[in-house]
A and B are shown apart, each in its own frame.
Chain A
Amino acid sequence: MFKFIKLVQNENMKTFRRVSSIVMLAILLCALGGVGAINKHYDTKDGKQTWQQQLQAENQTLEKQLKEHPNNSMKETLAINTYRLDHNIKPQDRSTSFWGNIADDAANGMQLVMIFAIIIAGGIVSSEFGSGTIKLLLTRPVSRSTILLSKYVSTLFTILVYTFACFIFSCLVSATFFGLDGLSSPYLFYQDGAVHEGNMLLHVFGQYGFQLIPTVMFVTLAFLISTVFRNSALAIGLSIFGLMAGSLVLQFIGRFTWSKYVIFSNLDLTPYFHGGGEPFREGMTLGFSITVLAIYYMVFIAITWISFKKRDVTA
Chain B
Amino acid sequence: MTQPAIQLQHVKKKIGSKTIIKDLSFDIYPGEVFGFLGPNGAGKTTTIRMIVGLMKMSEGDILIFGKSIKKHYKEAIKPVGAIVENPELYKHLSGYLNLIHYARMVNGVTKKRIDEVVELVGLKQRIHEKVKTYSLGMRQRLGLAQALLHSPKILILDEPTNGLDPAGIREIRQYIRRLAAEEGLAVIVSSHLLSEMELMCDRLGIIQNGQLVGVHTVGEFVGNDHEVMVRFAVDPIDRAFAILSEHYQASPQKEGNQLLHPMNHEDIPELIETLVQNNIKIYGVHAESKTLEEKFLEVTGGEKIV
Contacts and interface: CB of A to CB of B under 8 A. Distances in A.
A103 interface: no
A13 interface: yes
Contacts of A9: 104
B97 A135 contact: no
Interface in B35-68: 49, 52-56
Interface string A122-141: 00000000011101111111
Nearest to A9: B104
Interface in A118-158: 131-133, 135-143
Contacts of B80: 139
A3 B107 contact: yes
Interface string A3-15: 1001101100110
A312 B54 CA distance: 6
Contacts of A7: 104-105
Interface residues of B, number: 32
Nearest to A14: B90
Given A133-B89, A133-B90, A139 B104 contact: no
B85 A139 contact: no
Contacts, number: 77
Contacts of A17: 92-93, 97
A142 B105 contact: yes
Interface SS of chain B: loop
B73 A136 contact: no
B88 A10 contact: no
Given A143-B73, A312-B55, A313-B49, A136 B93 contact: no
Interface of A: 3, 6-7, 9-10, 13-14, 17-19, 131-133, 135-143, 312-314
Given A133-B88, A139-B82, 17 more contacts: A7-B105, A13-B93, A17-B93, A18-B92, A19-B92, A131-B88, A132-B85, A133-B89, A133-B90, A135-B85, A135-B88, A136-B82, A136-B83, A136-B87, A136-B102, A138-B54, A139-B77
11 contacts: A7-B105, A14-B90, A132-B85, A133-B89, A136-B84, A136-B102, A139-B77, A142-B74, A312-B49, A312-B54, A312-B56
